[in-house]
């Protein structure tokens, strides 16, 4: 497998995006205002099986990986890194337990919103690295390509609402933070796309086969 210096830098960029996404996920859990949709799904599943929160995240990623393959999306190093590392990072930050306790509701809401912006930026970093996206982002772009007339932020919002409903039925923690994340994540992603003049559906990603060739 041939990986150049630029590709190596982009993989580091991608891994950094995964790390800060996982850090934000850990903070959302600790703030206890209700989780974002994908995390609600993971937490809800973890209530019904012996796996840890991070292990369920990995399991969901592998499942989405299969769906992305069926959608004929490119499989790159990024997707493998995402599937393997996000859950590990979440469990690692949970083990460190560095977030101080915040009792003020206003303070907790403020931290929650900051975490959503961190997640949005992390998604931008991973999408723009060109190394193949994570399973969730690949699904988003794959669906977005099939409905190009709809803004990517709107596609994101519909997908998150669907995931939220499934997680809620399974008993995942829902609260005011959930409402904020469902409403805000689509527009936040759209904001970063506009800010950086970035259209995720137009990015040409390197697949694993590209490296082999």
What pLDDT digit, counting tens, does each position of 84-142 carry? 888 899 999 999 988 888 888 899 999 999 999 999 999 888 888 877 777 887 888 78
Q: 149 or 28, which is more confident?
A: 28
What pLDDT, on a 0 to 100 scale, did the predictor assign at position 36?
78
pLDDT band at 153 (very low <50, low <70, confident <90, very high): confident
Give me the residue label for tokens 């596609």.
155
**At residue 41, what are phi and psi to the nearest 5 degrees?**
-60, -45
Burial of 163 (0-12, 13-18, 19+ CB in 10 A): buried
**What digits encode the pLDDT tens for the residues 74-95?**
778 888 888 888 889 999 999 9
Measure the CA–CA gap between 207 and 74, rounded to whole angstroms.
6
pTM score of the predicted model = 0.78
């Amino acid at each position: 497998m041939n990986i150049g210096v630029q590709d190596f830098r982009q993989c580091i960029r991608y891994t950094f995006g995964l790390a800060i996404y996982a850090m934000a996920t850990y903070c959302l859990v600790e703030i206890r205002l209700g989780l974002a949709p994908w995390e609600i799904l993971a937490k809800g599943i973890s209530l019904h099986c012996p796996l840890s929160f991070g292990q369920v995240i990995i399991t969901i990623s592998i499942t989405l990986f299969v769906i992305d393959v069926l959608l004929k999306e490119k499989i790159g190093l990024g997707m493998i890194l995402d599937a393997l590392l996000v859950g590990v990072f979440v469990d690692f930050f949970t083990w460190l337990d560095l977030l101080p306790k915040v009792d003020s509701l206003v303070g907790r809401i403020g931290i929650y919103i900051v975490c959503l912006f961190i997640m949005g930026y992390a998604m931008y970093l991973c999408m723009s690295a060109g190394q193949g996206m994570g399973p969730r982002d690949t699904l988003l772009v794959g669906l977005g390509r099939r409905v190009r007339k709809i803004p990517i932020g709107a596609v994101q919002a519909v997908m998150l609402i669907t995931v939220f409903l499934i997680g809620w039925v399974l008993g995942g923690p829902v609260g005011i933070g959930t409402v904020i994340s469902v409403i805000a994540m689509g527009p936040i992603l759209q904001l970063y796309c506009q800010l950086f003049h970035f259209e995720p559906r137009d990015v040409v990603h390197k697949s694993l086969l590209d490296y082999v060739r």
